[in-house]
Structure 1
Amino acid sequence: MSEIFKNHIEKFIKINVKEFEDIFSFFQLQQVRKKENVLVEGNVCKYHYFVLKGCLRKFFLTEKGTEQTTEFAIETWWMTDHISYERRLPSEFFIQAVENTEVLRIDSHSQEELLKAFPKMERYFRFIYQRAFAASQMRIKYLYDLSKEDFFQHFNKLYPEFVQRIPQHLIASFLGFTPEYLSEIRKRSHS
């Protein structure tokens, strides 16, 4: 499993075997069962999670009590509640495993120590944050710019294996509509 993380880091920075072993020592491996929460609303988010295997989702509860999914993280993606993690404030989100999941996690103190010991990891995390921010920007654009059906078709075109893997009600929650409406869209697109 550490090879997955090493390969991911090497997409952004050059590290040797010894450096990676030292970098890896700052992380903890965690197994998360399907539907288990690693973060509950009201608690401080203590970790930044790197998905080795499986899928996490971040969501909040609306005033009506429905779950609104804001983000997914599959293999080699990161997830945290940035505001809670960085400012040590109570979170307004849940982070939950969609399926049995293995993650590497790092707390903020360990991450600061990692960055002091390996300044090149600042560059790695900068690339990660830039990609996450860009993805967030595009999602907001699609929410405003595309019809719901076009938004689903675009999402399905970009991530077909993801759409097949994730339960339909969670995809609908992420895209901002009901599972019934998503079912209608899928039926129309298969006709």
Structure 2
Amino acid sequence: MISELTAHIEKFAPLPEGAGDILQTYLERRSYRRKDLLLRAGHICTANYFIIQGCCRTFQVTEKDTELTNHFAIENWWITDYFSLESGKPSAYNIQAIEDTECMVLYRDRQDELFEKLPQLERYFRIISQRALAAALQRVTYIFGNTGEERYDHFRQLFPGFLQRVPQYMLASYLGFTAEFLSRIRAKRG
């Protein structure tokens, strides 16, 4: 599992020899079953999760008990609640495995020590964070600036692998409309 993570890191920041052994001592391998929560709303987020295999989502539950999906993560993606992780305040979000999922977990209380041993990781996480922020801002632009059909088409073009892996109601929630509306869009597309 470390080999997948080190290969991913090296796409953004070269690692010294032996980095995999160092990472191995700071990361924990965790398995989650479909529907398991990695983080429960109201609890403090204590870790970053690197998806080795599987699919997860971040969502919140409204006062009307509607689930609003905010983020998906598949293989070679990280998922966390950065606000809770960095502030130490309770999370407004749940993180849930959509499929059986294997992760490498980096706990916040070990992160700084790891960064001291492998300073290249600070560059790596900066790049990953910048990309996550850019994607979140782009999503907001699409939600408010495009029709539902345009949002669906854009998502389908960028992330075709998600369409078969993510339940329709979660995808509809992420795109900002109802599952019924998504069914109508899909029916038009054939």
TM-score normalised over the length of structure 1: 0.96
Distance (whole Å) between structure 1 residues aligned to residue 54 and residue 138 of structure 2: 24
1:37 and 2:37 are equivalent in the alignment: yes
1:112 and 2:112 are equivalent in the alignment: yes
Distance (whole Å) between structure 1 residues aligned to residue 102 and residue 94 of structure 2: 17
1:152 and 2:152 are equivalent in the alignment: yes
Kindly provide the CA deviation profile for residues 41-91 of structure 1, in whole angstroms up to 9, marking residues without a partner as x: 111111111100001100001121110000001001011111111111111
The match for 1:56 is 56
1:70 and 2:70 are equivalent in the alignment: yes
The match for 2:80 is 80
Kindly provide the CA deviation profile for residues 77-136 of structure 1, in whole angstroms up to 9, marking residues without a partner as x: 011111111111111110000000001111111111111111111101011101101100
5 Å matches for 1:134-173?
134-173=134-173
Query: What is the number of residues matched between the two proteins?
Result: 190
The match for 2:184 is 184
Distance (whole Å) between structure 2 residues aligned to residue 135 and residue 46 of structure 1: 23
- Secondary structure, counterpart of 2:29 in structure 1: strand
Distance (whole Å) between structure 1 residues aligned to residue 112 and residue 71 of structure 2: 25
- Secondary structure, counterpart of 1:92 in structure 2: coil
- Secondary structure, counterpart of 1:160 in structure 2: coil
Runs of 4+ in 1 over 4 A off after TM superposition: none
Aligned residue identity for 1:26: Y
Give the superposition deviation at 1:24.
2.8
Measured on the aligned residues, the alpha-carbon RMSD in Å equals: 0.9
**Identity value in percent:** 42
Aligned residue identity for 1:107: Y
Give the superposition deviation at 1:161.
1.5
Give the superposition deviation at 1:20.
2.1
Kindly provide the CA deviation profile for residues 4-26 of structure 1, in whole angstroms up to 9, marking residues without a partner as x: 11110110111244122112321
- Secondary structure, counterpart of 2:121 in structure 1: helix
Aligned residue identity for 1:129: S
The match for 1:27 is 27
TM-score normalised over the length of structure 2: 0.97
Distance (whole Å) between structure 2 residues aligned to residue 144 and residue 173 of structure 1: 14
Aligned residue identity for 2:80: T
Distance (whole Å) between structure 2 residues aligned to residue 55 and residue 165 of structure 1: 8
| Unaligned stretches of 5+ residues in structure 1 | none
